[in-house]
Chains A and B, each alone.
Chain A
Amino acid sequence: DTGVSQNPRHKITKRGQNVTFRCDPISEHNRLYWYRQTLGQGPEFLTYFQNEAQLEKSRLLSDRFSAERPKGSFSTLEIQRTEQGDSAMYLCASIKGSDQQAFFGQGTRLTVV
């Protein structure tokens, strides 16, 4: 257990529905990252926060995706109008200060049917 908690662990949803995932980073970590991982691939960067500010978003993050970190602690990732191509593992990671080592959560496995 790295100390990064993600909920739910698994989510099955029908195409067109909205889903929201939550990430609780290690408490003193001010940087928080979202990655997406599909089968047979390494994780791909989606977006990151430093405290409550969202500082970068990947081109992978379409306008159906939105991420928030309102109080600089936990973060949510929402996907609106889900599509089958959204099926993936969504991973959250956190980093402390100017350290470079990221600690990953166990991920949320999304299946869109």
Chain B
Amino acid sequence: GESVGLHLPTLSVQEGDNSIINCAYSNSASDYFIWYKQESGKGPQFIIDIRSNMDKRQGQRVTVLLNKTVKHLSLQIAATQPGDSAVYFCAENGSAGTYKYIFGTGTRLKVLA
């Protein structure tokens, strides 16, 4: 199938290690942020979200950190597995009330066996 993100930044990690994917967002007024995972030929799949009144949120094996001072978002994946290999996008709520998203540049995560 056709690949998503042929020329994206790539992060290669060993299976079992932790992964950290970073994202810079653009609008200091954004109040909601979300991480998606996208596999080749598929639509984006929700991973975790965070509102601007928080700086950390944890899910199952994933943690999102938000630093509003420098407009930075990160996604931490614990004990990375082969099934985590995909392209990861962060998105911000670009306009209050419409909930349309502005997506960041994706990162391709490759998990090495």
A and B are interacting partners: yes
The reply to whether A55 and B98 contact each other, CB–CB distance below 8 Å, is: yes
Contacts across chains A and B counted by CB atoms under 8 Å: 69
Q: How many residues of B contact A (CB 8 A)?
A: 30
The reply to whether B43 and A56 contact each other, CB–CB distance below 8 Å, is: no
The reply to whether A100 and B99 contact each other, CB–CB distance below 8 Å, is: yes
Contacts of B42 in A (CB 8 A): 106-107
The reply to whether A56 and B32 contact each other, CB–CB distance below 8 Å, is: no
The reply to whether B43 and A2 contact each other, CB–CB distance below 8 Å, is: yes
Dominant secondary structure of chain B at its interface with chain A: loop
Contacts of A101 in B (CB 8 A): 34, 46, 49
Q: Can you pick out 20 interface pairs between chain A and chain B where the beta carbons lie within 8 Å of each other?
A: A2-B43, A6-B43, A31-B99, A39-B3, A39-B4, A39-B5, A40-B6, A42-B89, A42-B104, A43-B89, A44-B103, A48-B98, A55-B98, A56-B98, A56-B100, A95-B99, A101-B49, A104-B45, A107-B43, A109-B41
- A interface residues with partner B (beta carbon < 8 Å): 2, 4, 6, 31, 33, 35, 37, 39-45, 48, 55-56, 91, 95, 100-107, 109
